[in-house]
């Protein structure tokens, strides 16, 4: 994670940690979770989950919803 990434996550630590924990739970691997967080996602308008989550609270909520659907096997 870059210094800029760390600064952005620092601005909203509770959302950042919640999403990181959830992504790690989904993939059962921190490296895989980090990879997913940094790949563009079509449901986020081509933004990465990381960028969407650190832009505003609505973006963080969208990322959380996507992760929840993946975790419970609901098609995304």
Average pLDDT over residues 22-38: 94
Q: Are 36 and 49 in contact (CB under 8 A)?
A: yes
Helix ranges, the chain (H): 3-11, 13-27, 30-37, 49-55, 57-71
Domain that holds residue 49: 3-71
Cα separations in angstroms, 74 against 1, 55, 67: 29, 25, 10
Q: In whole angstroms, give the CA distance from residue 43 to residue 11.
A: 24
- Categorize the per-residue pLDDT at 37 as very low, low, confident or very high, splitting at 50, 70 and 90: very high
The answer to whether 52 and 62 are in contact (CB under 8 A) is: yes
Considering the domain boundaries, does residue 76 fall inside one?
no
Taking only the tens place, the pLDDT of each residue in 38-76 is 999 999 999 999 888 888 889 999 999 999 999 999 986
Count of domains forming the chain: 1
């Amino acid at each position: 994670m870059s210094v800029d990434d760390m600064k952005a996550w620092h601005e909203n630590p509770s959302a950042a940690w919640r999403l990181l924990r959830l992504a790690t739970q989904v993939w059962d691997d921190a490296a895989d979770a980090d990879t997913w967080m940094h790949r563009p996602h079509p449901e986020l308008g081509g933004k990465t989950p990381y960028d969407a989550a650190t832009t505003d609270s609505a973006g963080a909520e969208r990322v959380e919803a996507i992760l929840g659907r993946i975790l419970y096997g609901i098609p995304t």
